[in-house]
Structure 1
């Protein structure tokens, strides 16, 4: 049973008149007399004002049940299912009638009881008629509960409309009912507008979307029938998003990163930024599949249920821009595109029923991004009511790129320590399900890798996103517990695993008659990657790929003697694990990171450093240049860095600054570098790493730990500058940052202390607690706790009077972990607990409860505690 589907059938315009029949209006002046006005005195089936009998109450209950079990017009799939068997309808109606009759037994004052809410009224009715649901099945009891709560909302809404009614918190029930009315009304209004032809196609499209996108690439795990992929619902690791901090200091640490479904909830236009490998495409896949199936998490259920997802990778439209709605399906290669009814996509969007998932703005050429922005502006105006989620690499578009068009901005957060551990454990469980030859060693590999990423600095820096974590797991297993050092070595080892050892270890023969060594494969793949780089593409036509191979095959005899360009292309596609055909006659790399690495190798081998320098101001070339520095010889590396520092005619001042900062970011990738060049890079960029805005301070984090050596001495700056330096340093998820932050920990300026407190989760818990948290002045400062270990660390420090719940806890964990109990004065919930707040009575001196703006309203807060909604 889906409660949201049942609720959608209970249209307020139908339910409200039925419930109002159960009640009567009080006489004139009823609110002006001293005696209390009670609910039991206003029912229409008891007392002096009786107009209904109990038989009438049963008829009203039966009509409510009938509404709940009858599908809305045009509903399909799960939306047509009955919540209970037909022979239980009458039993549920009888139970509901007994519960509604209990309204006449309630001794509740509707004016003076200011804490009365729909949930509380529902509980009172259950207690007044405890045997009402006796004999019902589990589904029947659940349906009864949904109907009773809906009736309670309308009962209280009736009271709020009475002249003179003054209860404060009942207003919230009107708001809740209004939100429900809006959501249900919007869903109900959309469904009847579909023709039978549209509805039939949507059912097929939803099924196909779930099938086509329900897989992930997980490096190193080979399934018998689907190499290197894993079902999305089994492999998806919940991603977390960070929101932009408020412009005004909120009195505490920044809002913590929250699960993506919570961050996306309540927003209809969102730009999601994320670095390569952070999971942008995976997030949109997950949203498309969950929406198509109707299996959405609670925070997104109301907004996305019944919508039609369109997953639109920008790379498919890089040359010609986004297609018109009628061409959406054909452009992305959907096999059933020709079967869509004429004008169907346009009707979906005009009805406000679409979920537009536009992936990879950075995949469009820089001069095409402005056209894309204008198209988004036109579409959001032309098609109101739809939900738009756009993704991009952080540096591809400016911070406010879509703000004027009503888009909120979120960033995919780096994986936390807990996320990394969960990924490693899930990866090894997935590998074990394949019953491999090394099954007896997988447990050892898992334990040693978990330990390695915790204590080895370089590995911890690499394991910050799902792509890199998957590569680390695969290589650790492939090399029997040994891992290479550094990003370049990691990619080299990954290529070796995928191109040389993969088929051999899977005991696969040469099914296509071609047996290429590793090096010729790399050379050929580099040619394809280099073509994409030069032409500003993330994918290419199959015909162009074959022609590119034909041009270079004569120079690679190991490949030329084993087949023509068509045969070699098929071999690379089927046997390397690096190429794929996302649509008919189109080829791309399984991940952009591999394309960039191979393009960098090709450019370095061709000594084409001028090509890199001429494009270094473009964001899509950043990773290629950083990898080229890692691959280049010392003299080439020095020339490349000096070239980044040199002026380039025709570029803007901001682009010149970007090139110099890119030089600083590249230094850490150089295996060998002339000290004079290193010194020159620092001299040119030292003054550029004094940020003047919060956005600029955060953006410096992409340079990496080397920026810590270039930041000014903390003791020598003003409080305002110190805050910006704290933002920069805490954006670098490397324990080296702790050494710099120690210079800021004694600052009394509240924003500095709040920034340092809010960064705790990025670093080693014990060390950060010892070197930073313990030294922060606790005056008016909220200290975040994201897990039991952090609560324990705060307890060891004697507790703190202001605490922010910044992770998922049970009530028992909080009661046990917040010590001393009488020391807590203010509590800030940044994560929902899914429980009533009566447990707060365990903290006798608690004065204030803050609720983050994205959480639902809480209930059960003890009277002495003030509630503040942020």
Structure 2
């Protein structure tokens, strides 16, 4: 369609009555509405049922042109149509010329050889071309710009004409619907195959890139993640999602948000969903990474595919996405709100208010880093808020075992991989520092890869871990295998890092997590002359391809764009670039933005002592015009950075403590949870809880249990003797975050049992609780077999049991007869159909 057509809009309430006048009124003797009818038999300005004259046709055309100009910018439209006349004040002549041309084009409705069914099938653009062929002289006398305006208005008018034909005839509407349904079904088969091809794989960092692919089948590599809420226990993510149609899912970098999105999309596309997720069968998944959205915010449904540059974007049937959503068949996976510039997030939020309301019945999953959006960000739109939980000890074990199983597929190191797996499992259990790092799939993957790469040796600390990962990915693998560079380019590690830093720094400055390939090439062209070792080996295009294919750090998610395999690498390289450029004022100026947090933390880890001091002092300093919430954020960020500073003036450390001491007495539960993100350093600043009220003790417990570090146990021991149910419940729910046996002995063993459900999420916790003598009220949050529960629970003590996981096919609960004192059984609504409950046991169905 002519680009000018995009600028013409016709308001239906004005235009529909005008379009209706072009056609004869329905009545006795009129054309039938149950079969195709020639359009020439329907018009009102010719034939036996004529009610309009040529003058009426001109009047209608004039009103349509006037409305089109009113919806556009009239002066601009007329200047474009006839600039000379407009400058001389003869706008009316230009408008009359376009009106006459449109009247001649509309007159062709009476001569075009076409019925209503065929016209509707053609669509407005092709139908407008047919009218133009039937009236070839309509715009012949118009200047070029005026002719373009006429064409644009004609296209818009034809769209309304075809809508009228559909409304007029149930036969046309039914045929159009049947044709659309067949076309949609055929397209959805192709689209499903595209979703599977595009997302049915995961990158596993560190697998030998020379002898095997760096991606693995999703089914083999996917690790079921767990979610948690403030009000209840953890649950498998698939189970938690099954109970909601709208979910906002929080997760830190590397926690598996995108992996979960991929798994859901592929599972729905394949139709392989069981249990509670079976309700998603037949839905159409839309994977919508926010980083792909261009300026303009959330795309409308007809641009979902083009906005994310999906391969099938140009072949989708007109109106397909709109029909899917209108029928309530969509699964919308909006991934990475945090990857939108902060200024755009309110616009995204508005779209997430409007679209679910406009298209009810669809399922929505929105993901974000926790710091990017506040609590209850979408609560008014009935989005449930869930958090991806850190990997439990069993989850870490499962990941390490899964990783090594995948690694064996490459056929190398087979004699060593078994011992690597065993020693790494032991190291993660024994080393507190390593356990702190292995909290999500990304970090677990890095640890596994480095452990294998370094023959069982692991660096300590996050900075050392990332430096070692860069060394592994950029140099050591190819060099230690004595590989001949396949592209003839042999770059040492440092020039590669310098070039990658340039891309990461550009993304940081421009607030992007993805850049156009052309921009990457321009960036290399600008900086290659200052990196002679790289400049001698190739042009920007060649260096780009080398880094893309040989580093394992870059990827092209769609043709024409490039990003880092994970945001964490981008943040780390950005921090290196900033520190080398001494851009500490630049960091300080942006410290209130949540997507700069990781860059600032890593900059502290990379900086020299005097630079650390300057950066931390800058975060503490008062800044004119700073909002109170931003000032508080900056001070807490300074506190969070302390654990990353290798060397720091004690006076600066003391000032950070002094400035933040009052900030770590939270006055609300939301503030208490927010404090947890600053990490273990917060434990040093929290007040002594022994003399505070129960309400404040609860808030302090929430903060401390938000810090997944065993050092929190030492603080929590000072809360374990509280009689407050809220405090005791908070401590009990946090068990899974810490060393199982130590937490059992130092916390669980001391909690007063009254009215308290003790949660159990894995076999280790079940065993520990039995060792403590059992408890009367137990909440089972992990998936167990009846045999495990009858053996693990203490039968003589159990009086109340809460099965809060999805029982699946195990709905026969006759095994509960093994617990003679059991009198109450609580179940989630999805397990309400159980059978075999022993007589005398009351069943209570609770909220999920």
TM-score by length of 1: 0.75
Of 688-697 and 790-799, the range deviating more from structure 2: 790-799
| Partner Cα distance (1:772, 1:578) in 2 | 43
SS of alignment partner, residue 644 of structure 2: coil
1:320 aligns with 2:284: no
1:358 aligns with 2:334: yes
1:611 corresponds to:
586
1:378 corresponds to:
354
Of 564-573 and 596-605, the range deviating more from structure 2: 564-573
Pick one of 201, 204, 228 that aligns with 2:190. Answer: 204
Which structure 2 residue ranges, 5 or more long, are not aligned?
1-176
RMSD across aligned C-alpha pairs, in angstroms? Answer: 1.5
| Partner Cα distance (1:646, 1:856) in 2 | 57
Pick one of 390, 393, 407 that aligns with 2:383. Answer: 407
Map 1:391-430 to 2 at 5 A: 391-430=367-406
**Structure 1 residue 344: Cα displacement:** 1.1
2:365 corresponds to:
389
Task: Note if contact 1:262-1:854 (Cα within 8 Å) is conserved in structure 2.
Answer: no
SS of alignment partner, residue 227 of structure 1: coil
Change (3 A) 1:193 1:449: farther
1:467 aligns with 2:442: yes
| Partner Cα distance (1:510, 1:823) in 2 | 67
**Structure 1 residue 258: Cα displacement:** 0.7
Task: Note if contact 1:318-1:365 (Cα within 8 Å) is conserved in structure 2.
Answer: no
| Partner Cα distance (2:344, 2:626) in 1 | 18
Change (3 A) 1:236 1:733: same
1:799 corresponds to:
774
Map 1:28-47 to 2 at 5 A: none
1:5 corresponds to:
none
Change (3 A) 1:225 1:586: farther
**Structure 1 residue 795: Cα displacement:** 2.2
1:681 aligns with 2:656: yes
Pick one of 803, 813, 820 that aligns with 1:829. Answer: 803
Pick one of 284, 289, 307 that aligns with 2:283. Answer: 307
2:704 corresponds to:
729
Task: Note if contact 2:517-2:561 (Cα within 8 Å) is conserved in structure 1.
Answer: yes
1:135 corresponds to:
none
Task: Note if contact 1:318-1:364 (Cα within 8 Å) is conserved in structure 2.
Answer: no
1:240 corresponds to:
226
Listed one character per residue, the Cα deviations across residues 11-61 of structure 1 (whole Å, up to 9, x for unaligned) are xxxxxxxxxxxxxxxxxxxxxxxxxxxxxxxxxxxxxxxxxxxxxxxxxxx
Task: Note if contact 2:811-2:831 (Cα within 8 Å) is conserved in structure 1.
Answer: no
Task: Note if contact 2:226-2:389 (Cα within 8 Å) is conserved in structure 1.
Answer: yes
Task: Note if contact 2:811-2:833 (Cα within 8 Å) is conserved in structure 1.
Answer: no
**Structure 1 residue 398: Cα displacement:** 1.0
| Partner Cα distance (1:473, 1:425) in 2 | 10
| Partner Cα distance (1:332, 1:793) in 2 | 49
SS of alignment partner, residue 409 of structure 1: strand
| Partner Cα distance (2:690, 2:449) in 1 | 45
**Structure 1 residue 567: Cα displacement:** 1.2
| Partner Cα distance (1:571, 1:286) in 2 | 30
Task: Note if contact 1:318-1:363 (Cα within 8 Å) is conserved in structure 2.
Answer: no
SS of alignment partner, residue 527 of structure 1: helix
| Partner Cα distance (1:479, 1:192) in 2 | 62
1:535 aligns with 2:510: yes
**Structure 1 residue 648: Cα displacement:** 2.2
SS of alignment partner, residue 391 of structure 1: strand
Pick one of 496, 500, 523 that aligns with 1:548. Answer: 523
Task: Note if contact 2:725-2:756 (Cα within 8 Å) is conserved in structure 1.
Answer: yes
Change (3 A) 1:504 1:552: same
1:698 aligns with 2:684: no
Task: Note if contact 2:463-2:605 (Cα within 8 Å) is conserved in structure 1.
Answer: yes
1:566 corresponds to:
541
**Structure 1 residue 793: Cα displacement:** 2.0
Of 503-512 and 625-634, the range deviating more from structure 2: 503-512
1:260 corresponds to:
237
1:345 corresponds to:
321
Pick one of 291, 294, 300 that aligns with 2:268. Answer: 291
Listed one character per residue, the Cα deviations across residues 384-425 of structure 1 (whole Å, up to 9, x for unaligned) are 111111100001011111111121111111000000000001
Listed one character per residue, the Cα deviations across residues 617-672 of structure 1 (whole Å, up to 9, x for unaligned) are 00000000000000000000011001101122232111110000000000000010
| Partner Cα distance (1:345, 1:689) in 2 | 48
**Structure 1 residue 194: Cα displacement:** 5.6
1:88 corresponds to:
none
1:659 aligns with 2:642: no
Listed one character per residue, the Cα deviations across residues 733-766 of structure 1 (whole Å, up to 9, x for unaligned) are 1111111111011111111111111111111121
Between Structure 1 and Structure 2, how many residues are aligned?
668
1:771 aligns with 2:746: yes
Task: Note if contact 2:832-2:845 (Cα within 8 Å) is conserved in structure 1.
Answer: no
**Structure 1 residue 331: Cα displacement:** 2.3
Listed one character per residue, the Cα deviations across residues 698-743 of structure 1 (whole Å, up to 9, x for unaligned) are 2211111111111110112101111111111111111111111110
| Partner Cα distance (1:231, 1:726) in 2 | 41
1:861 corresponds to:
837
| Partner Cα distance (2:610, 2:379) in 1 | 44
Map 1:37-116 to 2 at 5 A: none
**Structure 1 residue 507: Cα displacement:** 4.9
Of 528-537 and 343-352, the range deviating more from structure 2: 343-352
SS of alignment partner, residue 389 of structure 1: strand
| Partner Cα distance (1:786, 1:577) in 2 | 36
Larger radius of gyration: 2
1:275 corresponds to:
252
| Partner Cα distance (1:478, 1:223) in 2 | 12
SS of alignment partner, residue 207 of structure 2: strand
Of 439-448 and 854-863, the range deviating more from structure 2: 854-863
Change (3 A) 1:434 1:617: same
**Structure 1 residue 510: Cα displacement:** 1.6
2:551 corresponds to:
576
**Structure 1 residue 319: Cα displacement:** 2.8
Which structure 1 residue ranges, 5 or more long, are not aligned?
1-190, 246-254
| Partner Cα distance (2:342, 2:224) in 1 | 31
| Partner Cα distance (1:792, 1:533) in 2 | 48
Task: Note if contact 1:272-1:391 (Cα within 8 Å) is conserved in structure 2.
Answer: yes
Task: Note if contact 2:298-2:347 (Cα within 8 Å) is conserved in structure 1.
Answer: no
SS of alignment partner, residue 482 of structure 1: coil
Task: Note if contact 2:635-2:659 (Cα within 8 Å) is conserved in structure 1.
Answer: yes
**Structure 1 residue 849: Cα displacement:** 0.9
1:621 aligns with 2:607: no
**Structure 1 residue 801: Cα displacement:** 1.2
**Structure 1 residue 777: Cα displacement:** 1.1
Task: Note if contact 2:234-2:761 (Cα within 8 Å) is conserved in structure 1.
Answer: no
| Partner Cα distance (2:274, 2:249) in 1 | 19
1:184 corresponds to:
none
SS of alignment partner, residue 205 of structure 2: strand
2:59 corresponds to:
none
**Structure 1 residue 330: Cα displacement:** 2.1
| Partner Cα distance (2:254, 2:301) in 1 | 29
SS of alignment partner, residue 721 of structure 2: coil
| Partner Cα distance (2:211, 2:193) in 1 | 21
SS of alignment partner, residue 524 of structure 2: helix
1:445 corresponds to:
420
**Structure 1 residue 856: Cα displacement:** 4.1
**Structure 1 residue 863: Cα displacement:** 2.2
